[in-house]
């Protein structure tokens, strides 16, 4: 959840960002935009691999959880997750976002260490204060989370997990802001493996149930903290700078309501469905959401790599062109992924579910682009660079309000499709607002003609499938037809976004390398 809500937003600054002499970091090669794009693609691949591993392990463990935990136990774990997400967004006042913004502008190791150390000690203090109150007075929190004050023991266990998670998020994120994707990925993998191994052991061998799941994750967070501290030991010291703390909090405070708004926007559709329809409908919608979630794998690597690189090199005049290339490269992957999910959603439902859930197929073409749009603000960095957090916070709150209003207006008329359409519409409006305001402060030369053509071509293919192909029974002919449509979507987006000339150059380069190998 934290990655999905990772809004890098800011205070106030001049609308035009200008280079600052020798203090401007140099891009990673002489081919300036190409160097940054190459670095970005490499980092994205590393972060993306880590995300794929973690999500794959979690998916493989789903049968385990559903067999050892009852539905009520599984629901309890979800409630703890929701509570933890809210606490993580509020207790430390999102100072980690302030650290992310100010660290690239610190031009000495002492200044970087002062920012990082101040953020760490503030985070430890904030979470410790919260944990002390919640452990001493667990009943009110238990009623808030579980609707009962009989679960105070489990609440205390959950509070310890939240404490460890908050500190881990800050230290682990430091590796990302220091542009250390390999170490970041190693820590994430170690955390995932240890957390899962501990959970399986505690639940199976010691029969601790929900408490075993929570304690297992806590053990993973502690192990991840230790390893991340080893990697980032040059950044953290016994230093606390009140002025730097003020700077980071001034930057991050407006992010808190925006982050909460993003959290609300992410759950309001299911809340509205529960209120206006039935729990059965919530289940159908949840399955469609899960089948659309592979879109997040396309986004995750870009999200992790994009922000620290842009905030480090934004002063360089070549960076805007590099950002435009990154956006085109992202869309060249995301648009075919959208088409693939829309084309083969019904087949996926047949493989993974029962006929009861087949109605989820109609929602996937709407939810897949909604998930992508919700994270595409990273390609509109102008507000973050200009430190205009209040504006970004306002966009987040407006997104939550619009999403809520549309859900309660459209669900009575369109049913589940109304919830999906509300989510897609509000996400598109929020991204448009980010991009329009960003371009005024940090212009990026996006090729909107090519982007529009690629989106239109992909949307047309999705529409053709929904109108003419999804009504047929499954058959080899249908599979071939959908396969051809997917190839058409892939070709259209690649040609529009990357360009014929780039494809020709790449082809000639590959043919030349192959010819050299044959001659050798």
- Per residue in 309-357, pLDDT tens? 888 888 888 889 888 888 988 888 888 889 888 888 888 877 777 787 7
Residues 6+ apart with CB under 8 A from 26: 316
Pairwise CA distance, residues 49 & 40, whole Å: 14
For the chain, the average pLDDT equals 81
User: What confidence tier does 505 reach under pLDDT thresholds 50, 70, 90?
Assistant: low
Cα–Cα separations (whole angstroms), residue 164 to 88, 127, 243, 252, 443: 11, 9, 26, 21, 40
Percent of the chain clearing pLDDT 70 (strictly above):
79
More confidently predicted of 219 and 289: 219
Task: Tell me: pLDDT of 519 over 70.
Answer: no
| Beta carbons within 10 angstroms of residue 138's beta carbon | 20
pLDDT score at 228: 96
pLDDT score at 450: 86
User: What confidence tier does 47 reach under pLDDT thresholds 50, 70, 90?
Assistant: confident
Percent of the chain clearing pLDDT 90 (strictly above):
36
DSSP character at residue 378: G
Task: Tell me: pLDDT of 183 over 90.
Answer: yes
Model pLDDT for residues 397-424, shown as the tens digit of each residue: 899 999 999 999 999 999 999 999 999 9
Place of tokens 């062109």: 321
User: What confidence tier does 74 reach under pLDDT thresholds 50, 70, 90?
Assistant: low
pLDDT score at 85: 84
Do 177 and 99 meet the contact criterion of CB atoms below 8 Å apart?
yes
User: What confidence tier does 115 reach under pLDDT thresholds 50, 70, 90?
Assistant: very high
Q: What is the average per-residue pLDDT within 471-487?
A: 63
Where is average pLDDT lowest: 6-20, 453-467, 495-509?
6-20
Task: Tell me: pLDDT of 210 over 80.
Answer: yes
More confidently predicted of 503 and 360: 360
Q: What is the average per-residue pLDDT within 196-224?
A: 93
Q: What is the average per-residue pLDDT within 44-63?
A: 68
Q: What is the average per-residue pLDDT within 131-144?
A: 93
The H or E element spanning position 396 is: helix 389-414
| Beta carbons within 10 angstroms of residue 243's beta carbon | 9
pLDDT score at 499: 59
Tokens (6 digits) for 226: 């230790």
Which phi and psi (to 5°) does residue 162 adopt?
-65, -40
DSSP character at residue 91: T
pLDDT score at 3: 38
pLDDT score at 475: 57
Task: Tell me: pLDDT of 106 over 70.
Answer: yes
Q: What is the average per-residue pLDDT within 181-195?
A: 92
User: What confidence tier does 55 reach under pLDDT thresholds 50, 70, 90?
Assistant: low
More confidently predicted of 237 and 281: 237
More confidently predicted of 58 and 134: 134
The C-alpha angle 195, 200, 203, rounded to 5 degrees, equals 115
More confidently predicted of 386 and 483: 386
């Amino acid at each position: 959840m934290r990655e999905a809500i990772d809004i890098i937003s800011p205070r106030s600054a001049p609308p035009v960002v200008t280079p600052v002499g020798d203090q401007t970091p140099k891009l990673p090669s002489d081919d300036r935009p190409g160097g940054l794009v190459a670095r970005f693609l490499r980092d994205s691949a590393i972060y993306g691999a880590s995300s794929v591993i973690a999500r794959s392990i979690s998916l493989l463990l789903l049968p385990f959880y559903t067999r050892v935990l009852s539905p009520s136990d599984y629901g309890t774990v979800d409630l703890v997750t929701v509570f933890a997400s809210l606490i993580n967004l509020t207790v430390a006042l999102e100072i980690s976002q302030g650290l992310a913004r100010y660290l690239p502008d610190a031009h000495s190791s002492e200044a970087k260490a002062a920012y990082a150390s101040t953020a760490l000690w503030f985070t430890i203090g904030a979470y410790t204060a919260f944990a002390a109150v919640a452990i001493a007075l667990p009943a009110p929190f238990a009623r808030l989370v579980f609707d009962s004050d009989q679960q105070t023991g489990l609440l205390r266990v959950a509070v310890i997990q939240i404490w460890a998670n908050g500190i881990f998020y800050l230290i682990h994120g430091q590796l990302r802001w220091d542009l250390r994707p390999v170490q970041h990925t190693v820590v994430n993998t170690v955390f995932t493996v240890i957390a899962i191994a501990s959970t399986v052991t505690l639940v199976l061998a010691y029969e601790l149930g929900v408490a075993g799941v929570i304690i297992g994750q806590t053990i993973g967070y502690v192990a991840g903290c230790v390893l991340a501290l080893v990697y980032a030991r040059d950044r953290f010291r016994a230093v606390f700078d009140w002025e730097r703390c003020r700077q980071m909090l001034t930057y991050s405070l407006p992010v808190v309501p925006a982050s909460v708004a993003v959290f609300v926007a992410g759950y309001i559709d299911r809340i509205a469905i529960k209120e206006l329809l039935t729990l059965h409908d919530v289940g159908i919608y949840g399955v469609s959401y899960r089948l659309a979630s592979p879109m997040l794998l396309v986004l995750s690597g870009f999200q992790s790599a994009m922000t620290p690189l842009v905030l480090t090199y934004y002063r360089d005049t070549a960076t805007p062109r590099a950002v435009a290339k990154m956006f085109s490269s992202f869309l060249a992957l995301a648009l075919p992924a959208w088409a693939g999910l829309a084309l083969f959603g019904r087949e996926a439902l047949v493989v993974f579910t029962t006929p009861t859930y087949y109605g989820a197929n109609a929602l996937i073409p709407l939810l897949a682009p909604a998930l992508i749009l919700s994270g595409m603000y990273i390609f509109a960095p102008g507000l973050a660079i200009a430190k205009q957090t209040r504006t970004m916070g306002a966009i987040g709150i407006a997104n939550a309000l619009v999403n809520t209003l549309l859900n309660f207006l459209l669900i009575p008329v369109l049913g589940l499709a109304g919830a999906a359409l509300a989510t897609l519409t509000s996400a598109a409006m929020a991204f448009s607002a980010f991009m329009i305001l960003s371009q005024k402060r940090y212009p990026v030369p996006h090729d909107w003609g090519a982007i529009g053509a690629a989106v239109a071509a992909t949307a047309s293919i999705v529409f053709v499938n929904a109108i003419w192909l999804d009504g047929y029974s499954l058959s080899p002919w249908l599979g071939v037809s959908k396969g051809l449509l997917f190839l058409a979507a892939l070709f259209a987006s690649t040609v529009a976004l990357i360009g014929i000339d780039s494809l020709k150059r790449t082809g000639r380069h590959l043919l030349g390398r192959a010819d050299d190998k044959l001659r050798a």
